[in-house]
């Protein structure tokens, strides 16, 4: 399995939780209802799995490796991806603030949550499409087998040393609980803990 295959598998799990978030946002928009527990779980998933693990691998290891092969950051695809990662973080922060405001009794907070959730969903879906269909193909052409092996080892260290044992499985479980709660289909990558990503086999 190449490093970008791992990232693609992680994308499928992230999309699964985006689908759950979409249903939360719709409930908040249409009915003024927000399941606080589920919203907090989704925000935790996006902060830790999508950003802290997945985006961290890209920013710390994949993008620099591509740039070392001559891909420019300024005005190039990795620069766009980094900008979108930061835009996503801003939406996550805003969703978290809206959830806590809703707990405190702010009725308008549910609408703010819904709007930032929908903006985040649109951003991430387009972002994932760019990576899956463009950036990762470029990486496959740039990297030698030795490059791929070195990058894979770095991804495995992120999982083992930075995220910690059991973290990956914890967030897959969260993704699947949310999917079951919101009647969203589970991604194949979320069903198979051993092959879905973060360096696990």
| 190 vs 172: CA distance, rounded Å | 6
Residue 192 clears pLDDT 90, i.e. is over it = no
Predicted pLDDT at 19? 98
Predicted pLDDT at 91? 98
Structure token pair of residue 187? 């991604």
Neighbours of 126 (CB within 10 A): 11
- Residue with the two structure tokens 């990956």: 168
Predicted pLDDT at 39? 98
Predicted pLDDT at 199? 36
Rounded to an integer, the average pLDDT of 51-77 is 96
pLDDT tens column, 162-188? 999 899 999 999 999 999 999 999 998
CB proximity list for 50: less than 8 A, separation 6 or greater: 10, 14, 17, 88, 124
pLDDT tens column, 95-141? 999 999 999 999 899 999 999 999 999 999 999 999 999 999 999 99
pLDDT tens column, 15-56? 999 999 999 999 999 998 999 999 999 999 999 999 999 999
Q: Which helix (H) or strand (E) holds 15?
A: helix 3-31
Which of the four pLDDT bands, split at 50, 70 and 90, describes residue 190? confident
CA distances from 7 to 12, 134, 135, 158 (A): 9, 13, 11, 13
| 136 vs 5: CA distance, rounded Å | 9
More reliable by pLDDT, 193 or 51: 51
Give the long-range contacts of residues 92-95, CB within 8 A, separation 24 or more: 92/43, 92/46, 92/47, 92/51, 92/120, 95/39, 95/43, 95/120
CB proximity list for 192: less than 8 A, separation 6 or greater: none
Q: What is the pTM of this model?
A: 0.93
CB proximity list for 60: less than 8 A, separation 6 or greater: 154, 158
| 53 vs 7: CA distance, rounded Å | 10
Q: Are 17 and 178 in contact (CB under 8 A)?
A: yes
Give the chain's domains with CATH numbers: 3-191 (1.20.120.520)
Predicted pLDDT at 201? 30
């Amino acid at each position: 399995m190449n490093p970008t295959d791992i990232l693609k598998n992680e994308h499928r799990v992230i999309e699964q939780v985006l689908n759950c978030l979409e249903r939360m946002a719709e409930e908040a928009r249409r009915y003024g209802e927000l399941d606080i527990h589920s919203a907090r779980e989704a925000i935790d998933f996006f902060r830790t799995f999508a950003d802290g693990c997945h985006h961290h691998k890209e920013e710390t290891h994949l993008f620099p490796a591509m740039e070392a092969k001559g891909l420019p950051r300024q005005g190039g695809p990795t620069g766009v991806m980094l900008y979108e990662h930061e835009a996503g973080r801003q939406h996550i922060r805003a969703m978290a603030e809206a959830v806590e405001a809703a707990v405190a009794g702010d009725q308008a907070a549910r609408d703010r949550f819904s709007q930032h959730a929908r903006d985040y969903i649109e951003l991430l879906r387009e972002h994932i499409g760019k990576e899956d269909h463009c950036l990762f193909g470029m990486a496959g052409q740039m990297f030698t087998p030795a490059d791929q092996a070195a990058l894979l080892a770095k991804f495995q260290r992120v999982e083992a040393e930075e995220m910690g044992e059991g973290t990956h499985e914890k967030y897959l479980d969260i993704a699947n609980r949310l999917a079951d709660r919101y009647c969203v289909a589970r991604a194949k990558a979320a069903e198979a803990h051993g092959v879905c990503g973060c360096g696990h086999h």
